[in-house]
Amino acid sequence: MHESMTRMYEYRLPFLRGELAHLPERLTLTDLQSLDHYHYCGTTAIDIAIERLGITAESQVLDIGAGVGGTARYLAQQVGCRVTGLELQPQLQQMAVELTERTGLSQRVTFIQGDILAGIAGTFDAWLSLLVFLHIPDRKTLFSQCAVLLKPGGRFYIEDYVQLQPLTPVEQRVLAEQIACPYLPTLESYQQDLARAGLGVLAYENVTPLWHNWVHQRWHQFQQNQAHYRQKHGDDLVESYLHFYQAVADLFSGGNVGGVRIWGQLLP
């Protein structure tokens, strides 16, 4: 799983560095908004998480699967909370640190490199994870580790893929090889796995139509701008993006892969 996930992200850092070359040393979150969010719907998705989690300036928040840190930085700037970003891949964690320094948010945002399945020290008022758990098939260990990271009454928020109908062999292969998603639960089994770990679901939202439109728009916009990107980044990098974006759009067109937002609270 780690190897396929690394392959999936390996072309994103060269693209990001290429875009950063045209930006000032001192960055704003607006400068990075189209570059540092690897989930869907950008900052709108984070605004929803803030509301569902009840995050305030006093909150200690953990972002599981922080990538290059877009979510963590936005939380810190928007709310004033302290955020820890946990990222498995060292190269992404290092970029997250660099970008946070360049945006002047290092006092409120910290990034650590590590594997959620191995656990980390500390407890938090809330954690969130946006389009990360689809890469982790060991749900028992995952949610057990996530549960111990919450303070009593702590809240969690997840955005993730779910299986709406049985997957075709082609979809299974695309998910495993191109999306680094070797296991896709149904919504029912997802909630059962959370409950077994002591994580009670307060509510969930089916966002499949929203994500279907968003991933198709992303693919089409990149296609329309590909001449510009080819000139800046080269053909190989652009082809990697086009291939990935089309694969995701095709999955959501098939009707068997969907999206969900789940939020809840540590059970007493």
| pLDDT tens by residue, 82-108 | 999 999 999 999 999 999 999 999 999
How far apart are the C-alpha atoms of 246 and 219, rounded to whole Å?
6
- Nearest-10 Cα torsion for 143, 146, 151, 153: -40
CATH number, domain 2-266, options 1.10.10.10, 3.40.50.150, 3.30.1540.10, 3.40.50.300: 3.40.50.150
Examine the pLDDT at 154 and tell me if it is beyond 60: yes
The more confidently predicted of residues 91 and 4 is 91
Phi first, then psi, for residue 112 (nearest 5°) are -125, 145
Give residue-wise pLDDT tens across range 134-148: 999 999 999 999 999
pLDDT-based confidence at 11, cuts 50/70/90?
A: confident
pLDDT value for 117: 98
pLDDT value for 4: 65
pLDDT value for 6: 67
Please give the mean pLDDT across all residues of the chain: 96
pLDDT value for 170: 98
Around Cβ 80, how many Cβ atoms within 10 Å? 13
Helices 169-177 and 235-253: angle between axes, nearest 10 degrees = 140
| Dihedral (CA of 71, 84, 49, 174) sign | positive
pLDDT value for 10: 78
- Burial of residue 63 (CB within 10 Å: 0-12, 13-18, 19+) is buried
Both tokens assigned to 11: 């072309």
Give residue-wise pLDDT tens across range 49-60: 999 999 999 999
pLDDT-based confidence at 2, cuts 50/70/90?
A: low
Examine the pLDDT at 38 and tell me if it is beyond 90: yes
pTM: predicted TM-score of the whole model, two decimal places: 0.96
Examine the pLDDT at 1 and tell me if it is beyond 60: no
Examine the pLDDT at 122 and tell me if it is beyond 90: yes
Three-state SS annotation for the chain: CHHHHHHHHCCHHHHHHHHHCCCCCCCCHHHHCCCCCCCCCHHHHHHHHHHHHCCCCCCEEEEECCCCCHHHHHHHHHHCCEEEEEECCHHHHHHHHHHHHHCCCCCCEEEEECCHHHCCCCCEEEEEEECCHHHCCCHHHHHHHHHHCEEEEEEEEEEEEEECCCCCHHHHHHHHHCCCCCCCCCHHHHHHHHHHCCEEEEEEEECHHHHHHHHHHHHHHHHHCHHHHHHHHCHHHHHHHHHHHHHHHHHHHCCCEEEEEEEEEECC
Strands 150-163 and 257-266: antiparallel
pLDDT value for 8: 72
Q: What are the extents of the domains in the chain?
A: 2-266
Phi first, then psi, for residue 120 (nearest 5°) are -135, 165
Give residue-wise pLDDT tens across range 201-247: 999 999 999 999 999 999 999 999 999 999 999 999 999 999 999 99
Tell me the residue type at 207: V
Examine the pLDDT at 182 and tell me if it is beyond 90: yes
Q: Rounded mean pLDDT of 109-132? A: 97
Q: Rounded mean pLDDT of 138-160? A: 98
pLDDT value for 255: 97
Percent of the chain at pLDDT > 70 equals 98
